Structure 1
Amino acid sequence: MFEHISSTSNDTVKLLKALDRKKERQETGLFLAEGEHFAEEALGNGWKPAYVFADVAAADRPRTRDLLERMRGAGARVLTAADKVLAAISGKDNPQGIVAAFHQRLTPLRDLPVTGKRRYVALYEVRDPGNLGTIIRTADAAGCDGVILIGSTCDPFSVDAVRATMGSLFAMRLASVPFAAFRDWCGAGKVRIVAASMRGDHPHHEATYGERSCILMGNEQSGLPDAVEDQCDELVRIPMMGRAESLNLGIATGLMVYEAWRAQGFGRQAT
């Protein structure tokens, strides 16, 4: 049997509900993920759960009960709750049967591998959590070795960013560093920085990605500062022929990431 909560005034409910705010996520080190798929991905990749709320009916299903038991075994406090409680936590009128809080996890930059063939994505002060989540999902799909967040990039553990990853958050190494530390790491590991830029004088499919590369993408509105572009190994542009002034950041990053993968022969990465 699991502990049951029926009131939205419960302290644990208030704690999880507050995780939609960055301040609360920073203070607690927790974040929310909704749905069985996200919970399975998190457990499968070794993320540590803190709390999990389950709909009473869902908790009676053998598959869900097995998941809840495994989450309890991984350290989570497991509770069942009424629909109104799950709705209060998730902020949705029709929440999924499970809402869980996990401990945040970032990888120190020094622990990202720089041996053999490697491909990374770095994002400079990206502001939109939907874009960030989509890029993490794309990087996972293309077999990248990690996503590096530079400067004041938005929070990868916000509800919107986590939801946009479709679970890929739990499979992807994430690091968060200042640009100077990123540049030093690339230099030491011989990781080639290829940036998309309006100053690029050749298309992205003609870039020299090399054995180890990092695709660097800038802010949605202002792109990369000149001082940052001047420290990149190569600036490229993505060709366009219509009347659109620019591409969505998630789309542009996807084009760059898949071209870097193609340049390596679409081979599998080392672990």
Structure 2
Amino acid sequence: MSARTVTSLTNPTVKAVRALHMRKERDETGLFVAEGLKTVIEGVETGHAPKILLYGQGAADHPLLQNAIRATLQARGEVIEVTQDILAKVSRRDNPQAVVGVFPQVFRPLAEIDPAAAPCFVALHRVRDPGNLGTIIRTADAAGCGGVILVGECCDPWSVEAVRATMGSIFAVPLTMATEAEFTDWRAGWPGSVVGTLLSAEVDHREAVYARPVLLLMGNEQQGLTPDLAALCDVNVKIPMRGRADSLNLSVATGIMIYAATG
């Protein structure tokens, strides 16, 4: 098997990649789209070979792309050189990346999480914004967190918007999905501190005592932590607001808390 050239938007593989913009298609196939050579290489270097690799005309000589092509072919994936028009349609952008990879989704079950593997893990309850989710995954990667747990009905971490925001960290940070009931049962065995954030909390996040490993539990963008989940926390803390703004963006607040817990 080797690379081939496709110029038609009606090609079945091109149509299949375009369809992955829809969550239904991602859920049914277990695949997702990653755009850009940097992100694709992050996948390859962490042991995730593309199922499909599309690249633009004239890009084939880049040494990093050559690595991605080899990894794809070794894994019996499909490598296709495509036109700029196809790249634009696949990514739904006027100025698309020159490389697009299709990868399998990977989730880690709750039971396989090893709390001792990292100083901090992040749990997000019903996060709604894919940009927030992707940024949190990227921050968790930067801080050396052991994983991100999605609790309840969350936005799709494999959407193009979320994957873009991770800047490649989607491949480095293990993801777990759980219902509220599953998370509640599993949390009972957590060996360190479970920490939440609440606007009504009295403890400053800089003054709290964090017993590692820390399980950081964050609520969604609109409502914050529900009373039931706040009750699961050993301590709830606040991030002081000194100006007129009465709250922070979820990804910013989570970043502050990650570094408070790991600093």
| TM-score relative to the length of structure 2 | 0.95
| TM-score relative to the length of structure 1 | 0.93
Q: How many equivalent residue pairs?
A: 262
State the secondary structure of the residue aligned to 1:157.
coil
Please tell me the residue identity of whatever aligns with 2:133.
Answer: L
Decide whether aligned partners of structure 1 residues 189 and 225 sit closer, same or farther in structure 2, where only a CA change above 3 A counts. closer
Please tell me the residue identity of whatever aligns with 1:80.
Answer: E
Aligned position for 2:128: 127
Rounded to whole Å, the distance in 1 between the matches of 2:248 and 2:136 is 14
Contact 1:116/1:211, CA 8 A, preserved across alignment: no
Rounded to whole Å, the distance in 2 between the matches of 1:49 and 1:66 is 11
Of 185-194 and 199-208, deviating more is 185-194
Contact 1:114/1:189, CA 8 A, preserved across alignment: yes
Contact 2:125/2:225, CA 8 A, preserved across alignment: yes
Rounded to whole Å, the distance in 2 between the matches of 1:99 and 1:230 is 43
Decide whether aligned partners of structure 1 residues 212 and 60 sit closer, same or farther in structure 2, where only a CA change above 3 A counts. closer
Aligned position for 2:170: 169
1:209 aligns with 2:210: yes
Rounded to whole Å, the distance in 1 between the matches of 2:192 and 2:47 is 28
Contact 1:49/1:75, CA 8 A, preserved across alignment: no
Please tell me the residue identity of whatever aligns with 1:41.
Answer: E
Please tell me the residue identity of whatever aligns with 2:165.
Answer: A
How far 1:251 moved relative to its partner?
A: 0.6
Alignment gaps of 5+ in structure 2: none
How far 1:113 moved relative to its partner?
A: 0.7
What does residue range 1-271 of structure 1 map to in structure 2 within 5 Å? 2-115=3-116, 118-262=119-263
How far 1:32 moved relative to its partner?
A: 0.3
Rounded to whole Å, the distance in 2 between the matches of 1:188 and 1:130 is 31
Rounded to whole Å, the distance in 1 between the matches of 2:191 and 2:185 is 10
State the secondary structure of the residue aligned to 1:215.
strand
Decide whether aligned partners of structure 1 residues 251 and 63 sit closer, same or farther in structure 2, where only a CA change above 3 A counts. closer
Of 182-191 and 244-253, deviating more is 182-191
Decide whether aligned partners of structure 1 residues 238 and 26 sit closer, same or farther in structure 2, where only a CA change above 3 A counts. same
Rounded to whole Å, the distance in 1 between the matches of 2:194 and 2:235 is 7
State the secondary structure of the residue aligned to 1:49.
coil
How far 1:116 moved relative to its partner?
A: 6.4
State the secondary structure of the residue aligned to 1:53.
strand
Percent of matched pairs sharing the same residue: 45
Rounded to whole Å, the distance in 2 between the matches of 1:134 and 1:166 is 8
Contact 1:5/1:80, CA 8 A, preserved across alignment: yes
How far 1:190 moved relative to its partner?
A: 1.6
State the secondary structure of the residue aligned to 2:58.
helix
Contact 2:126/2:153, CA 8 A, preserved across alignment: yes
State the secondary structure of the residue aligned to 1:216.
strand
How far 1:62 moved relative to its partner?
A: 4.1
